[in-house]
Structure 1
Amino acid sequence: MKKRGKTADMASVCQSRRGVLSLQEEETYIPVRDGSKVRALVYRRKSDASDKRPLFVVVHGGRFRIGNAELESRACIGATQAFGCVSVSLEHRLSPEFKFQLSKSASSLGADPLQGFIFGGTSSGAHIANPLVHRGRDEMLYPRITGVYLNVPSTLAPQAITDEYRGLYNSREALKDGYTLTSKSIELYDQEYEPDFTSPLWSPLLWPTGHLNLPPTFFQICGADLLRDEALIYERELRLKSGVKTRVIVYSGLPHVFCYTHPFLSASRAFAKDAVLGVGWLLGTCV
């Protein structure tokens, strides 16, 4: 695990690959199984004519009810500039079957997932992505997802906690009056959505087929976030029990999605750089 300020090794390896390159941004709509479409922003290098570029897909946060693709544009632009991947920021309206449609759409986006397929999200976007990664593994999705990006994920509802994790699960209570996310706001969201808390789709830490053979996973976790401990528990589960390669950066003293709420802070700029380097690690470009 790393705390912010100790990623110089990643930066030095990737520095020669970075630089301000001319990009193109395209708004597109990707079909999902029920016939509707979801809006997405697609980022590519203008100077790169290759169709063998890896794919980075990220779903924005917003507790399933607010936000847009622009929220993840900083990470997408940075990853495309640094590594030449095609980056896609997806909007929030998703069905569980979207992964197959996205794989089919990859070539039209100018990407080849066989060169690398990184998938993830921020907050509720990570909450959506994580079960889909598990389903992709279980259903032998092809091309397979090769890396997972989880930014401040929720992985275990308190209503579903088991004795195994209870002693490690303290931040929900200790940080219940957090700055950007509180227990009261989560309660309001839960009343609106009426989720099945014990379903692995809502609490993916409890996925019935476990976590073996999941792709390498990169975590960004906020130290003053009430979701902190479940993210740390999930990373520990992946790394120690399932042998999944992980990398973690913890932002001490900072609240949930501070990069959204205060984008001009130096910590937010550092967060964005770390996200890009994390994508590079998942692509095998950065050590």
Structure 2
Amino acid sequence: MALATASIDDPETWHLFANLDNEFLKMVEGGVQSRFHRGDAPLGLPEMRAKWDADFRKEADLLLEESKGEVSEEEISISVRDGSTVRALVYRRTCSPAEKGPLFIILHGGGFRIGNAEMEARACIGATQTYGCVSVSLEYRLSPENKFPVAYDDAWDALLWLSRNDSSLGADVAQGFVFGGTSAGAHIVNALVHRARDEMLHPPVTGVYLSVPPSLAPQALTDEYRDLYRSREALKDGFTLTSESIELYDRDVEPDFTSPLWSPLLWPTGHANLPPTFFQICGADLLRDDGLIYERELRLKCGGKTRVVVYNGLPHVFWYTHPSHPTSEKFAKDTILGLGWLLGKEV
């Protein structure tokens, strides 16, 4: 009898995606720690933010150097509703083509507590080099200083400004307008693309990129999804994201668990007529089923266009935490291919 293999079309096999990757197991057993391992003396939040910011700034500088001058980076500030500003990094081709290219906006992860625009430099530089995009890595104000829904308001205000000022950035959203995020960033993006559809944002978002996205808080779980929603419990003691760390994020962010912003799977106007969506999902991630359930909702119930890559046996944001793992390079390539699909410019 043949052994069952994991398939996104068979929820009864989803647990097989969690079978730990052999190379990752070797790394763990060999003492390879996450690049953000805090050691015996845990860092405070300011020190942790400073370390993340410095590490990813160095990585962004290296990526720009590797582009051999083909991509430039500009830091800008965008005003939001309460008079504050949010920071963004804009990536462009240094030799601008005669026609303006599409706009790609991405939000970083970090549990709403840490993170910076440099974290998404690889996706931005790759998209700009490959497809001629103007790529914008967008920040939002962090918790615990700023509570829910400030990050969502910041991102919405910035999204509106960027879409209305695309020409000044060197982009043309009529050529393509992709909005994406990773982890906490995907959490925000998923809600805001629903809002953009409902409020008929013009020009509309044409593609959505969701990397390891939350979609349904356990506090808002409904009977409709209960039988599919297993990874939150089964993988609660995972390697890079645990139920304990999510509890910490919730304490700092203080979300409204009943809000569709926090659980976009339950968006009151549904999920029809959303743009094509590209998913990257980690098989050994407690958020795995958040992504797989939402993808089924889009594709099977609403007839939406989706594309999915699942990284079998690998934990949440492994490419951030274990960049030396060989699949981290594949993840980066998959990201660029997926963005090409969203832009209708597959290579």
TM-score surpassing 0.5?
A: yes
How big is each residue's C-alpha offset from its partner over 1:146-191, in whole Å with a ceiling of 9 and x where there is no partner? 0000000000001111111111110001000010000011112112
Larger radius of gyration: 2
Q: Percent identity?
A: 71
**Cα distance in 1, alignment partners of residues 240 and 211 from structure 2:** 15
One-letter amino acid of the counterpart of residue 154, structure 1: P
Question: Where does residue 177 of structure 2 map in the other structure?
Answer: 117
- Please state how far the C-alpha of 1:50 moved relative to its aligned partner: 3.4
Q: Distance in 2 between matches of 1:37 and 1:264?
A: 35
Per-residue CA distance 1:44-88 (angstroms, 9 max, x = gap):
111124352100100000011101011000011111111001111
Aligned to 1:42: 90
**Structure-2-length-normalised TM-score:** 0.75
Aligned match of 2:135: 87
Tell me the alpha carbon deviations over residues 116-167 of structure 1, each in whole angstroms, 9 at most, x when there is no partner: 0000100000011111100000000011100000000000001111111111
Whether the 8 Å CA contact 1:123–1:151 is kept in 2: the answer is yes
1:160 to 194, 207, 220: 220
1:264 paired to 2:324: yes
Aligned partner letter, 2:198: D
Distance of 1:50 and 1:88 partners within structure 2: 20
Displacement, 1:20? 6.9
Aligned to 1:66: 114
Is the contact between residue 117 and residue 147 of structure 1 (CA under 8 Å) also seen in structure 2? yes
Question: Structure 1 CA distance, aligned partners of 2:288 and 2:210?
Answer: 12
Change (3 A) 1:86 1:43: same
Contact 2:112 2:253 in 1 (8 A): no
1:51 touches 1:110 (CA, 8 Å); kept in 2?
no
Q: Which residue of 300, 303, 314 maps to 1:243?
A: 303
Specify the code of the residue in structure 2 equivalent to 1:281: W
In structure 2, the gaps of 5 or more residues are 1-6, 9-16, 18-66, 142-150
How many residues matched?
A: 272
Match of 1:139 among 193, 199, 206: 199
SS across alignment from 1:97 = helix
Residue 157 of structure 2 is aligned to residue 97 of structure 1? yes
Q: Residue type of the partner of 1:159? A: Q
Alignment of 1:57 with 2:105, yes or no, is yes
- Specify every segment of 5 or more residues in structure 1 that has no aligned partner in the other structure, as ranges: 4-18
